[in-house]
Structure 1
Amino acid sequence: MVNINTLDPSASPLDYYGFELRRYREAAGLTQRQFGDVINYTGSMVGQVETARKLPTLDFSQRSDAALCTGGLLTRLHPLVMRSQLPAWFQQVAELEVRAVEICSFQTHMILGLLQTPAYARAVLGALDRSDLDDRTAVRLARQSILEKEETPVFWAVLSEAALYLEIGGRETMRGQLAHLLTFENTPRINIQVLPFSAGAHAGLTGSFDLYRFAGDPAILYTESFRSGHPSANPETVKECALRYDHLQAAALSLKDSAELIRSVMEDRYGDQVAQVQLQQ
């Protein structure tokens, strides 16, 4: 007989999701295996989700909702489940991302999480720790759903040119990552600027930071150190960093020139012609 764990739906969003999935499935008179056949997943996968041992994917949630006629419950729960799996110190930031009407980000050496491709995110997260890498990557990518909302936040990203050259995950991964940045070239609410090496000393030398602005609440500054995040609503601190961001945007290339630089680096450093030269050598 299959061992059925008893879940406390109040324990976590993942437990609540599993509890509701089982409740709907049993009401439909389906075994885990039968339900898995309906949504094209294994019965084992269904069982692991129901017992909070496996994270559901968005596809799993959507298929389950359709099969069980839940009115979209599981799909609505999915972002909450994924945010709950972020490191405890980062969960507050994920909430800020969801609530913000404007996000301004400056990154000194890599592409920020909201713009990462799956391969790039996997390479970053797996640099020293490859445990549960599939789930951790999925959790990070789930944050990007805020950029797909009907009313997305206005998003400004200033990236140091170094982020284009730091070869994270290999040439193919970097080419895909830079190509992904270019997909936002004609998206007015998502804007990417590159701070070139030629800018020299600049207002962001103290490190990366993010500014979150809200419809009815004070803006919040977020900085990060090893395994800890530091949100601050101190008006003077926020004001100072907002001024720094203005100067970074002024020193950065225009949106058009930034896209051209990204395209140039993608082709010249990570393009097929580079591989052909290396093979000839």
Structure 2
Amino acid sequence: MAYADELDPSASVLSFYATDLRRRRELAGISQRDLAKRAHMAPSLLNKIEATKRLPTKDLSELCDEIFGTGDHFQRLWPLVIKYAYPSWFRPYVDLEEAATIIRSFQVQVVPGLLQTEDYARAVFSARRPDTDRVEEQVTARMERQHILGRKIPPKLWVVLDENVLRRRMGSPETMRAQLERVMSAADAPSNVIQVVPYDAGEHAGVAGPFEVLALDEGPDVVYVDGFLQGQILAESEHVRAAERAYDLLTAVALSPGRSIDLIADAMKDLSP
């Protein structure tokens, strides 16, 4: 018996998606190989998707709705399914991020996920040398998180970067250049503020590492702190106050938004061929 035959559709959103995809495909009289061909993917990959061994793509979801006449059924399921690309400990943060009205992010090594390009994110994940298929799933999930910035009323995003983020190349020079262009473009949005703490600022309040402060409409603000193996969400008032004070101190020593853009442009010059 194939693994897909033993799936319980009530076990998770991913299991429901996989079993419903297989059921509707078989009702339509379409073989796995034929659907894979129309989806421009290997039959082995579609087989893994129907067995919950791989995550479905957005393109596959759109194609299935078109072929099976299911409206936007699979497209509506996809954002829920994609959360399975996140580690279980990270999923609560994704929910909080979606609910946040203000996001204040400090980063010392990499551009925050909400502003990463696909190629840059791929380089970041690849540096950890995981399974190649998992890298693509993680990149897809990271790109999906960015939809909150395209909402009619997006969260206010304030990003403070250590200059190290601009100088540490991730991927090829072209990948890094495109990433810095993405950061500069984000700075043009009225809901965003981008600042850089230059090297010559010396020691600063963020030396302990990256963190984010999320302001929510309902409930207290929370802090997310990155770690080696996994991150941690802190909601205790004293921790939130400490993070907010650290962020205030960082913005005080950072360059102004205008001068920060100049420094980012300067870093891009170093990537010129």
Q: TM-score, normalising length from structure 1?
A: 0.87
CA distance in structure 1 between the partners assigned to 2:4 and 2:172 by the alignment: 43
1:103 aligns with 2:91: no
Provide, for residues 161-188 of structure 1, a one-character-per-residue CA deviation record: whole Å limited to 9, x for no partner.
1100012223222112112212213211
Q: Which amino acid aligns with 1:173?
A: T
Q: Which amino acid aligns with 1:244?
A: A
CA distance in structure 2 between the partners assigned to 1:77 and 1:190 by the alignment: 30
1:197 aligns with 2:190: no
Q: Quote the residue 1:76 is aligned against.
A: 76
Q: Quote the residue 2:161 is aligned against.
A: 159
Alignment of 1:12-91 (within 5 A): 12-91=12-91
Q: Which amino acid aligns with 1:64?
A: C
Q: Quote the residue 1:7 is aligned against.
A: 7
Q: Which amino acid aligns with 2:24?
A: Y
Q: Which amino acid aligns with 1:214?
A: L
Q: Quote the residue 2:188 is aligned against.
A: 186
Q: Indicate the SS of the match to 1:225.
A: coil
CA distance in structure 1 between the partners assigned to 2:260 and 2:272 by the alignment: 18
Moved more, 252-261 or 41-50: 41-50
Q: Which amino acid aligns with 2:9?
A: P
The structure-2 alpha-carbon separation of the partners of 1:158 and 1:225, relative to structure 1 and needing over 3 Å to count, comes to same
The structure-2 alpha-carbon separation of the partners of 1:66 and 1:153, relative to structure 1 and needing over 3 Å to count, comes to farther
Alignment of 1:87-166 (within 5 A): 87-131=87-131, 132-166=134-168
Instruction: Judge conservation of contact 1:211–1:221 (CA < 8 Å) in 2.
Output: yes
The structure-2 alpha-carbon separation of the partners of 1:42 and 1:170, relative to structure 1 and needing over 3 Å to count, comes to closer
Cα displacement (A) at 1:24: 2.8
Cα displacement (A) at 1:209: 0.7
Percent identity of equivalent pairs: 38
Q: What is the RMSD computed on CA atoms of the aligned residues?
A: 2.2
CA distance in structure 2 between the partners assigned to 1:171 and 1:37 by the alignment: 35
CA distance in structure 1 between the partners assigned to 2:48 and 2:66 by the alignment: 20
CA distance in structure 1 between the partners assigned to 2:126 and 2:140 by the alignment: 13
Cα displacement (A) at 1:75: 1.7
Provide, for residues 61-108 of structure 1, a one-character-per-residue CA deviation record: whole Å limited to 9, x for no partner.
122223323231222222222222212222221221122121110011
Aligned counterpart in structure 1 of residue 170 of structure 2, from 164, 168, 171: 168
CA distance in structure 2 between the partners assigned to 1:201 and 1:143 by the alignment: 32
Provide, for residues 35-79 of structure 1, a one-character-per-residue CA deviation record: whole Å limited to 9, x for no partner.
345545454443332221221111221222233232312222222
Provide, for residues 192-228 of structure 1, a one-character-per-residue CA deviation record: whole Å limited to 9, x for no partner.
2111122222222222110111111110011122212
Q: Alignment length, in residue pairs?
A: 271
Q: Quote the residue 1:277 is aligned against.
A: none
CA distance in structure 2 between the partners assigned to 1:66 and 1:257 by the alignment: 49
The runs of 5 or more residues in structure 2 that have no matched partner are none
Q: Which amino acid aligns with 1:21?
A: L
Cα displacement (A) at 1:241: 1.2
Instruction: Judge conservation of contact 1:122–1:133 (CA < 8 Å) in 2.
Output: yes
Q: Indicate the SS of the match to 2:5.
A: coil
Instruction: Judge conservation of contact 1:89–1:227 (CA < 8 Å) in 2.
Output: no
CA distance in structure 1 between the partners assigned to 2:151 and 2:24 by the alignment: 27
Instruction: Judge conservation of contact 1:4–1:51 (CA < 8 Å) in 2.
Output: yes
Q: Indicate the SS of the match to 2:9.
A: coil
The runs of 5 or more residues in structure 1 that have no matched partner are 273-281
Moved more, 65-74 or 224-233: 65-74
Instruction: Judge conservation of contact 2:205–2:250 (CA < 8 Å) in 1.
Output: yes
Q: Indicate the SS of the match to 1:104.
A: strand
Alignment of 1:259-278 (within 5 A): 259-267=261-269, 269-272=270-273
Instruction: Judge conservation of contact 2:4–2:50 (CA < 8 Å) in 1.
Output: no
